[in-house]
Amino acid sequence: MEQPTIPGWPAEIRAVEFPASIDNTRQPMLAYTPATKGKRPLLIGLHTWSGDYRQAGTEVIYAQWCMAHDWHFIHPDFRGQNSTADACGSEKVVQDIIDAVAYMAKHYEIDPDRVYLAGQSGGGHAALLMAGRAPHLWAGVSAWVPISDIREWWKQKDAGQYPFYARNIESAVGGRPDQSGTAAQECVRRSPNTYLGRAAGVNMDINAGVTDGHDGGSVPFTHALYAFNHIVPDRDRIEEPFIEAFYERQKLPDGVPLADPDPLYGQKRVLFRKVSNNTRVTIFQGGHEIIHNAALTWLAHQRRGQPAKWDITADNTPGTAPPF
């Protein structure tokens, strides 16, 4: 069922509804389909923690990329703002995103080996979660400034800046996780780290800014580093003392060299980077943000079932449109 366009989005982006199999409702999303014939990639862009499918912030860049490169695009609601039991990594969230992909595959020519997932902040949380819950779907997952442990983030927000996020979590999980066993278990069920061990075969790129969690944003970049650790083999994990020292100082510990520059990050200097097979984590000079050119250019090179490609520049991006 096609609906009118949404303010802030290009006119070509339409609001549609798809059937949600988990509760027999119809759920909204934004969608774009190219005129180009034949199978084309699909990008699923995920809204942030306090947004919904209509959110027209930097998410619009996802749509612009897809329009320029003749990709399919969807921006699902996945039950809206993360302050209700239906949202915040629930079973409905997981199944809705799976159903949204299935809807596109049923009605349009989608290349099943080029289905990509991207999100920042709350969208980064959902991207990591879906990498673990539905690893068979994705050619590449790009998660930026993500929340990987709901209870840990609740603890950080309850005792620090932005306490309203802790209240959101309590509303979603049914209480304070330090006072309710049910709420604590819900935090586990809704946390990407619970499932990321299943995502070792997914091409995964996890990113965060070094000031995030301090003055630069709401999610400590430790979440990105610990997410990496939950995917990779023991031998490749980042040691906890390093993670905590790095976060506390907002600079690399003494004796640790800077990572090599990455031109896709523009003026946002890459500080730390570690790769293990198909998984990479990057901490860059920045805050609570996504660098769309880096995210989308990397995704464009990935294929489902093939090893992750890491040696990428803007000059060898598939397609003819310029980078964003």
Q: Does residue 169 form part of some domain? A: no
Give yes or no for residue 314 having a pLDDT over 80: no
Q: Does residue 186 form part of some domain? A: no
More confident residue, 317 or 115: 115
Q: Work out the pLDDT band at 320, boundaries 50, 70, 90.
A: very low
The domain total for the chain is: 1
**What's the rounded Cα separation, in Å, for the pair 295 and 237?**
23
Mean pLDDT of the chain: 95
Distances (CA, A) of 38 to 66, 71, 179, 246: 15, 11, 54, 47
CB 277 within 8 A of CB 202: no
Which CATH number belongs to the domain containing residue 44 in this structure?
3.40.50.1820
User: Do the strands 279-284 and 25-32 form a parallel or antiparallel pair, or are they unpaired?
Assistant: unpaired
Give yes or no for residue 179 having a pLDDT over 80: yes
Q: Is the pTM of this model over 0.85?
A: yes
**What's the rounded Cα separation, in Å, for the pair 192 and 147?**
8
Q: Does residue 321 form part of some domain? A: no
Predicted confidence (pLDDT) per residue in 272-281, tens digit: 999 999 999 9
Give yes or no for residue 290 having a pLDDT over 60: yes
Q: Work out the pLDDT band at 319, boundaries 50, 70, 90.
A: very low
Q: Does residue 254 form part of some domain? A: yes
Distances (CA, A) of 103 to 19, 31, 95, 137, 160: 8, 11, 12, 13, 41
Q: Does residue 161 form part of some domain? A: no
Q: Work out the pLDDT band at 42, boundaries 50, 70, 90.
A: very high
Q: Does residue 299 form part of some domain? A: yes
Domain that includes residue 226, residue range: 2-149+191-316
The pLDDT of residue 216: 78
Q: Does residue 92 form part of some domain? A: yes
Q: Residue 2: how many CA atoms within 13 Å on its side-chain side?
A: 8
Q: Does residue 225 form part of some domain? A: yes
Task: Name the residue among 170, 203, 202 with its Cα closest to residue 187.
Answer: 170
DSSP-based three-state secondary structure for 322: coil
Give yes or no for residue 3 having a pLDDT over 60: no
More confident residue, 269 or 3: 269
